[in-house]
Amino acid sequence: MNNWRLVKLNFGNSPAHFGELGIGMEETSDRVRSDTLFSAWISACARLFEKDEFDKLLKQFLNTSPPVTMSSTFVYRHHNDRDIYYLPRPLKFPANYPAGDGDLEFFKAYKKINYLPLEVWHKWYQREGFTSEDRQELIKETNKTKSDGFLHEQGTFSYKEAFKIGHEPKIAVDRVTRATNLYHTGFVQFQWEQKGNDIKNRSGLYFLLNFSQKDETLEKQLQAALQLLGEEGIGGERSSGAGHFEVEWLPLPEMWQKVVDFKANYYTIISLLWEDNYSILKQLITEDKEACYEIIERGGWISGQQLRRQMLRMFVEGSVFSSPPLGKIADVTPHQLMDKKTKKPKKHPIYRSGISLSLPIKVKSE
């Protein structure tokens, strides 16, 4: 039996800077993707555990059947005494969606919805699908008319109310000339409120974990490492106090259990996915006629070194396939850190996770 966990990252009044390839320091993402989360988390494990214990843990993830798979992080928002969990909208239309001339009245509003509240996601992709009531609400949203239907009640159009993105001025000082340069850094601030000396989180990030089998030792190890990561911070600008969070490690709520237990013939990934096996790639993108996907390039700097990891092309969250893809860990050690004779890393390999986590869905028949 699979063992799922829901993990919430509560940032309180701590801002965060989540860089993405190509957006520069002045911008920030509102969330952390699965490969970045894995890298930060596994680095925390390396600092927390003895070498033999860490090597044993890492070896498990390098196997074809990893002990746990994780999603990317997504935004949650506490509103009207309940948590709204947002999931990426799958790249295929939901069942009963009137694609074609029938969607011209509301497609402008539909395509802007990149993230769906869990209840809406469940309705569209696991229950009755797209309804005429949804159509009318989207038409009102397109026409900027007040709406009070199901989509509105669930928070479909209020995703960006969970956080604010701002910019702070910074000054860089040249080490040689002492010349100064003014620049701005983007920060995301999740909703919070203060009552007395206590800070209450109104929004934050969450992600899902699926353990292949019950393993209390592994779970405690990962939980301890994640708490350490929360104290150190995740993302950029940690030296300025950014990215600190507290961890809520929860059993899977009942609504989520319905989602993961659903039986269907399609799957949407909620993590990044990487695969280099030609036969598997051929099956995913050539032989799977129902596949619908997007590709993103992932790179980035190595912490503490002026070297970039090797670039990877990965499938993005929301991509849809006819079978649940597995993915794997990629070795992205820069060529400068490789021994020319042995063709092996001089110190230790640098990895990026392309291990996939997916959810079952049903979609519109073509």
Task: Quick: pLDDT tens for 316-325.
Answer: 999 999 999 9
Strands (E) across 261-346 are located at 266-269, 295-298, 312-315, 320-321, 329-331
Look at the alpha carbons of 189, 191, 192, 193 in this order and tell me if their dihedral is positive or negative. positive
Higher pLDDT pick, 2 / 159: 159
- What value does the mean pLDDT of the chain take? 89
Q: Which residue has the higher pLDDT, 79 or 6?
A: 6
Model pLDDT, residue 19: 82
**Which of the residue ranges 16-25, 40-49, 124-133 would you say has the lowest mean pLDDT?**
16-25
Residue 86: which pLDDT band, with cuts at 50, 70 and 90?
A: very high
Give the per-residue pLDDT at 123.
97
What pLDDT sits at residue 241? 85
Whether pLDDT at 22 is above 60: no
Task: Quote the tokens at residue 57.
Answer: 């843990």
Confidence of residue 146 (pLDDT cuts 50, 70, 90): confident
Whole-model pTM: value is: 0.91
Per residue in 244-291, pLDDT (tens digit) is 999 999 999 999 999 999 999 899 999 999 999 999 999 898 888 889
Residue in 129, 138, 137 with CA at minimum distance from that of residue 107: 138
Residue 173: the pLDDT is 80
pLDDT band with cut points at 50, 70 and 90 for residue 125:
very high
Region 336-355: mean pLDDT is 72
Q: How confident is the model at residue 308 (pLDDT cuts 50, 70, 90)?
A: confident
Give the per-residue pLDDT at 303. Answer: 66
Tell me the average pLDDT across 144-162.
92
Distance CA 366, CA 304 (A): 50
**Where does the pLDDT of residue 17 fall: very low under 50, low under 70, confident under 90, or very high at 90 and above?**
very high
pLDDT grade, residue 92 (50/70/90)? very high
User: Considering only CA atoms, which of 227, 267, 276, 255 is closest in space to residue 358?
Assistant: 267
Q: According to DSSP H, which parts of the chain are helical?
A: 34-48, 51-62, 107-111, 118-126, 132-142, 150-153, 216-232, 254-260, 278-282
What does the pLDDT read at residue 121? 98
Residue 1 has pLDDT above 60, yes or no: no
pLDDT at 61 over 80: yes
C-alpha–C-alpha distance, residues 76 and 155, integer Å: 11
Does residue 346 surpass a pLDDT of 80?
no
- For the chain, what are the domain ranges? 3-159+256-263
pLDDT at position 301: 66
